[in-house]
Amino acid sequence: MKRFLKIVILHFEHVFENRARSLIWFIISLTNPLSLILFWKGASNGGNLGLGWTFSSLTTYYLLLALANAFLTSHIEEEVSFYDIKQGDLVRYLIRPFSYYWIKFIEEIPYRLLQGTYGLILLLIFIILFSHLVRINLTVLIIALGLMSAILAFFISFTFKMIIGLLAFWFKDIRGLYNLVDIVTIVFAGYVVPLEFFPSTLKNVSYLLPFAYMIYYPVIIIQGKLLLWEILRIVGIQFLYLSLFLVIQRLLWKKGIKEFTAIGQ
Partner 1 sequence: MKYYFNVYKRLLKINFSELIAYRAGFINSIISSLGWGFFQMVWVYLLTAKIKSAYGWNRDELVILAASYILFMGIFHMFFSRNLDNLSRIINYGQLDGYLLKPIDSQLLLTCWQINYSQIIRLFIGSYFITSTLIQMRYYPSVTNVIGFATLLIFGIILMYAIWFVVATLLIWNPQLSNLIDFLYNITGMSRYPPSMVKEFKSIVLLFFIPLMLTVAVPVKAMINKVLLGDIVQLLIFSIFLLYISRQFWHFALRYYASASS
Question: Which residues sit at the interface with partner 1, rule CB under 8 A?
Answer: 18, 20-21, 24-25, 27-28, 31-32, 35-36, 38-39, 41-44, 49-50, 172-176, 179-180, 183, 186-187, 192-193, 197-199
Beta carbon nearer to partner 1, 179 or 243: 179
Q: Can you say whether the dihedral through the CA atoms of 122, 127, 130, 135 is positive or negative?
A: positive
Check if the beta carbon of residue 71 is closer than 8 Å to that of residue 26.
no
Q: Which is nearer to partner 1, 194 or 218 (CB)?
A: 194
Please say which residue, 62 or 100, places its beta carbon nearer to partner 1: 62
Q: How far is the CB of 44 from partner 1 (least distance, A)?
A: 8
- 27 or 138: CB nearest partner 1: 27
Least separation, in Å, of the C-beta of 119 and partner 1? 16
Q: Which is nearer to partner 1, 24 or 120 (CB)?
A: 24
Least distance (Å) between residue 160 CB and partner 1: 18
CA distance 233 to 226: 10
By beta-carbon proximity to partner 1, the closer residue of 36 and 242 is 36
Give the shortest CB-67-to-partner 1 separation in angstroms. Answer: 18
Those residues with Cβ within 8 angstroms of residue 207's Cβ, 6 or more apart along the chain or in another chain: 195
Q: Encode burial over 97-110: b for 16+ CB neighbours within 10 A, e otherwise.
A: eeebbebbbbbbbb
Q: Are 94 and 261 in contact (CB under 8 A)?
A: no
- The rounded distance, in Å, linking the Cα atoms of 18 and 107 is 14
Q: Which of 194, 202, 167, 205 is nearest to 78 (CA)?
A: 167
Distance of alpha carbon 224 from alpha carbon 233, whole angstroms: 15
Least distance to partner 1, CB of residue 49, Å:
6
Residue closer to partner 1 by CB (options 124, 183) is 183
For residue 80, the Cα-to-chain-centroid distance in whole angstroms is: 17
C-alpha distances (whole Å) from 225 to each of 120, 194, 210, 219, 232 are 21, 12, 20, 9, 13
CB 16 within 8 A of CB 114: yes
Report, in Å, the least distance between residue 2 CB and partner 1: 32
For the bound state, the minimum distance from the C-beta of residue 47 to partner 1, rounded and expressed in Å, comes to 11
Burial of 176 (0-12, 13-18, 19+ CB in 10 A): exposed
